[in-house]
Structure 1
Amino acid sequence: MVTGNDEREKHELKQILVIESEIKELGKLKYFLGIEVVYSTQGIFISQQKYVTDLLAETGKIGCKPVSTPMDPNHKLGEVKEKPVVDKRMHQRLVGRLIYFAHTRPNITYSVSVINQFMYDPREPHLQAAYRVLHYLKGNPRKGILLKKNNTLVLEVYTDADYAGSLVDRRSTTGYCTFLGSR
């Protein structure tokens, strides 16, 4: 995949790659590693709609009822030794796939990071929290990120933290988001 804003330099790089290895010009990128790429006059839109649909089918959640948030806003997810253990490999695979979704769906990042804390000993409430993220994705599988065309370079950074919010170790959770370009 060759990308850039200098057409001459991209052409020269492709020429060098043709000499050094066997490459094939496939045109504009449309689909790569589960990420769909759509071009418009506004910019480039990336999403993982097919990946969402495939995961819902694989987990038996294709007919699930959608929810409006990826995690209960008042969640109290912690270690729950008294709850039943779930299949660790299946849980880890599901959470790993949800982590991959965060590339185009930053709105699930917090939920997935909380669920990810319990990968070593997953219990039923942790699996249910992961399933809730799937229910959320079911409600809006087409969402993604629009990378807008513009020439403005504005740097914006947002941060937030809670104080001793973890039920497991009383540690604080901190998050940040950085944007480069106008929104």
Structure 2
Amino acid sequence: MCLHTYQLHQAPRAWYATLSTFLLKNGYRRGTIDKTLFIKKDKHDIILVQVYVDDIIFGSTKKSWCDEFEALMKSRFQMSSMGELTFFLGLQVKQKADGIFISQDKYVAEILKKFDFVNVKTASTPIETQKPLVKDEEASDVDVHLYRSMIGSLMYLTASRPDIMFAVCACSRFQVTPKTSHLSAVKRIFRYLKGKPKLGLWYPRVSSFDLEAYSDSDYAGANLDRKSTTGGCQFLGRRLISWQCKKQTIVATSTTEAEYVAAASCCGQVLWIQNQMLDYGFNFMNTKIYIDNESTICIVKNPVYHSKTKHIAIRHHFIRDAYEKKLIQVLKIHTDDNVADLLTKAFDVSRFQFLVVSIGMINP
């Protein structure tokens, strides 16, 4: 697939209406989930046109279709061609014969320089295992604006760096009154980035094309309020396409409840991806969701267990409905093989590195 970028010079709202009408007249159809996506396909090939404000990314399985689209757009709009996609919204894209590599090492270099971490000792992991973050009210206050600025910069980096996702989310919970211990934890993330600036996501050209997901939770992992952390990641073959790390809104009363809430969150993301993939012409039914908790799987599958879940909010139970409709299937996986673990807790170096490689992150 060839990927290219274009930049339009018209005012966003004004040209979007014109652009969509123009594309629809020329054989494209608008995406049902994403209204800024336009698609044209036949039995063998497909072209995708993604509009983002005043930029367009387009890619096709057939190079001649890219050329035709380019000519079509130039015939109607005042545009400037940016050529093959190499950089977009801070993401660096390297298109190779055997796959695509996405990273943000230029952005990493920028924030290391901005916050004066160019000449520091590196860290092997982004967060310590022995020192959980707590309120630490006796410690000194730190500059709240600096702390928030550092967190904001790191948040943007999680678009291509799931390896720092958990650490950034953990530190972001202390933005109201950050203390020296919290700033020290944020600095550790920067020191980790100093040692691994070029790490990115590898999307191999040759891989299976089945949708699968991994769900996990860390029971009562948040020391502030004893809420659990949800972790989830979704793959197309061995290509990581989506990942989540979020503190749960409830205080779970058991490991099973925390895992069930995490599984429901993962299921919601899977259903969204299924609908999105329908636009591309792929129907993913019975998507596998791997869970490392046997009781959670039983609750999803077996109505006998439902009396034990009356205290769980109704909104989480749609996962049962998805299972009954055969939209998903839930499978047991050993904790050691659950890659969503990376998004729920801190690890020692060996386990952390194993998980980073397992989700498809490499150094170019």
Q: What is the TM-score normalised by the length of structure 2?
A: 0.47
Q: Distance in 2 between matches of 1:22 and 1:121?
A: 49
**Correspondence 1:44 to 2:113:** no
Distance change >3 Å, CA 87–CA 19, structure 1 → 2: farther
Aligned position for 1:157? 213
Secondary structure of 1:25's partner? strand
Q: Kindly state the Cα deviation for residue 17 of structure 1 after the two structures are TM-superposed.
A: 3.4
Q: Kindly state the Cα deviation for residue 26 of structure 1 after the two structures are TM-superposed.
A: 2.1
| Structure that is richer in helix per residue | 2
**Correspondence 1:28 to 2:79:** no
Bigger shift: residues 6-15 or 28-37: 6-15
- Choose from 143, 151, 154 the match for 1:98: 154
Aligned position for 1:3? 58
AA partner of residue 86 (structure 1)? V
Q: Kindly state the Cα deviation for residue 21 of structure 1 after the two structures are TM-superposed.
A: 3.2
Bigger shift: residues 106-115 or 51-60: 51-60
Any stretches of 5+ residues in structure 2 without a counterpart?
6-56, 240-364
Larger RCO, structures 1/2 (Cα 8 Å, 6+ apart): 1
Q: Distance in 2 between matches of 1:3 and 1:140?
A: 31
Q: Deviations over 1:47-71 (max 9, x none)?
A: 1111111111111110111111000
**Correspondence 1:182 to 2:238:** yes
Q: Distance in 2 between matches of 1:158 and 1:74?
A: 26
Secondary structure of 2:231's partner? strand
AA partner of residue 188 (structure 2)? R
Bigger shift: residues 53-62 or 29-38: 29-38
Q: Deviations over 1:84-136 (max 9, x none)?
A: 11111211111111011111111000000001111122111111111100000
**Percent identical residues:** 35
Residue pair 1:161, 1:174 contacting (<8 A) in 2 also:
yes
Residue pair 1:150, 1:182 contacting (<8 A) in 2 also:
no
Distance change >3 Å, CA 89–CA 28, structure 1 → 2: same
Q: Distance in 1 between matches of 2:171 and 2:207?
A: 38
- Choose from 74, 78, 84 the match for 1:18: 74
Aligned pairs for 1:88-127 (under 5 A) are 88-127=144-183
AA partner of residue 4 (structure 1)? G
**Correspondence 1:133 to 2:189:** yes
* Bigger CA radius of gyration: 2
Aligned position for 2:114? 58
Aligned position for 2:50? none
Residue pair 1:44, 1:147 contacting (<8 A) in 2 also:
yes
Q: Kindly state the Cα deviation for residue 161 of structure 1 after the two structures are TM-superposed.
A: 1.1
Number of corresponding residues: 183
Bigger shift: residues 90-99 or 26-35: 26-35
Q: Kindly state the Cα deviation for residue 74 of structure 1 after the two structures are TM-superposed.
A: 2.7
Q: Kindly state the Cα deviation for residue 19 of structure 1 after the two structures are TM-superposed.
A: 4.4
- Over the aligned positions, Cα root-mean-square deviation in angstroms equals 1.8
Q: Distance in 2 between matches of 1:70 and 1:90?
A: 19
Q: Deviations over 1:15-68 (max 9, x none)?
A: 453345321122111222222221212211111111111111111110111111
Secondary structure of 1:127's partner? helix
Any stretches of 5+ residues in structure 1 without a counterpart?
none
